[in-house]
Amino acid sequence: MTKSGLIELVAERTPHISKKDTEIVVNTIFDSMTEALKHGQRIEIRGFGSFQVKIREAREGRNPKTGEEVHIPAKRTPFFKVGKELKEKVDGVKPGAEGAGDSGDES
Amino acid sequence: MTKADIVEHIYERVGFSKKESAELVEQVFDIIKDTLAEGEKVKISGFGNFVVREKNARKGRNPQTGEEIRLSARRVLTFKPSLVLKNVLNEEPVTEAEARTEG
C-alpha cells in the first residue's frame, strides 16, 4: 500500500470528510513526525511503535571504484521500534497467547 | 511527540476540530496496522517503508541460563527510512557534543 492508497482508505472510512482534506491530514501527520525527528524528538505512537534518531559514528570507508580511502562523517539515522501490540499482530499471535512474548522487550 | 501532539498539529494547521483530527489520526494508524497485519507492506513516500519480513525458525540460547531454545518461524516488522527523511535529518552536520551523547 502506498500513501495514496492509505488516503483512499481513510477517505472511505470517513465519508463526512472530503478526500482532499483527508490527503492534507495524512500529509500533515507525516510532516509533523518528520519535523519532530528533525528536532531530535522521540515519537511514541501507542499500539504502533516509536521512532528515534540515533547517531551513526564517523568511520573510514573506501570508494569501491577507486579503492581510495574516504572519511564518512557521523550521520543521524531514524530508528523504528515496533510496539508490542503491532509486533504480535504482524506475527499473527493473539495478545497474551503462549509464546507471544518470547522476544518481546518493549519497555 | 505522541498521538495527541499530532492531533494538535492537525487542529492548528488544518483547522479541523480536535474530535475530527483525532478520528483521522486514529484511522490512519489503524489502517497501517491492519495492512501490515495482513503481511502487506506500507510505503509512505518521503517518510519510509514499513515491511513485513518472514524469519525462519532458528536455534537460540537463553542469554541468562545458556540453555538452548528453539525460536519458531515468525514475521517481523522493519522500517526502512526514505532518503528524503535521512537527508532532512542531516541538513546540519552532527556536532561533537551530539556524537558523544548518542554515539
Query: Are A87 and B21 in contact (CB < 8 Å)?
Result: no
Q: Counting one residue from A and one from B, how many pairs have CB atoms under 8 Å apart?
A: 156
Confidence (pLDDT) at B12: 93
Query: Are A2 and B43 in contact (CB < 8 Å)?
Result: yes
Above 80 in pLDDT, residue B102? Answer: no
Q: What is the pLDDT of residues B34-61, one digit of tens each?
A: 999 999 999 999 999 999 999 999 998 9
Our CA-based measurement puts residue B101 at a distance from the nearest CA of chain A, in whole angstroms, of 9
Q: What is the pLDDT of residues A89-107, one digit of tens each?
A: 999 865 555 444 444 444 4
Pull the grid cell for residue B49. Answer: 517503508
Q: Which of B32, B72, B85 sits opposite A34 (nearest CB)?
A: B85
ipTM of model: 0.87
The residue type found at A102 is D
- For range A22-47, the mean pLDDT: 96
C-alpha Rg value of chain B to the nearest Å? 20
The residue type found at B9 is H
pLDDT grade for B96, boundaries at 50, 70 and 90: confident
Residues of chain B with C-beta less than 8 angstroms from the C-beta of A43: 1-2
Q: Which residues of A35-54 are buried (b: 16+ CB within 10 A; e: fewer)?
A: ebbbeeeebbbeebbbbbbe
Q: What is the pLDDT of residues B7-23, one digit of tens each?
A: 999 999 888 999 999 99
Question: Cα dist. B69→A4, A40, A96, A105 in Å?
Answer: 43, 39, 20, 17
Question: What is residue B70's DSSP assignment?
Answer: E
Domain segments of chain B as ranges: 1-39
Who wins on pLDDT, A93 or B63? B63
Query: Are B9 and A42 in contact (CB < 8 Å)?
Result: no
Instruction: For residue B77, give the nearest of A89, A4, A98 by alpha carbon.
Output: A89
The set of residues, in sequence order, having a beta carbon less than 8 Å from that of A40 and lying 6+ positions away, is: A53
Question: Cα dist. A19→A31, A33, A50, A76, B102 in Å?
Answer: 18, 21, 28, 35, 41
Q: What is the pLDDT of residues A48-91, one digit of tens each?
A: 999 999 999 999 999 999 999 999 999 999 999 999 999 999 99
Average pLDDT, chain B: 92
Q: Which of A9, A14, A91 sits opposite B74 (nearest CB)?
A: A91
Q: Can you tell me the distance from the alpha carbon of A49 to that of A106, in angstroms, rounded to the nearest whole number?
A: 9
Search chain A and give the residue with CA nearest B40: A1
Search chain A and give the residue with CA nearest B52: A90
CB A44 within 8 A of CB A50: yes
SS3 A35: helix
Pull the grid cell for residue A65. Answer: 571504484
Share of chain B above pLDDT 70, in %: 97
Residues of chain A with C-beta less than 8 angstroms from the C-beta of B72: 99
Query: Are A10 and B81 in contact (CB < 8 Å)?
Result: no
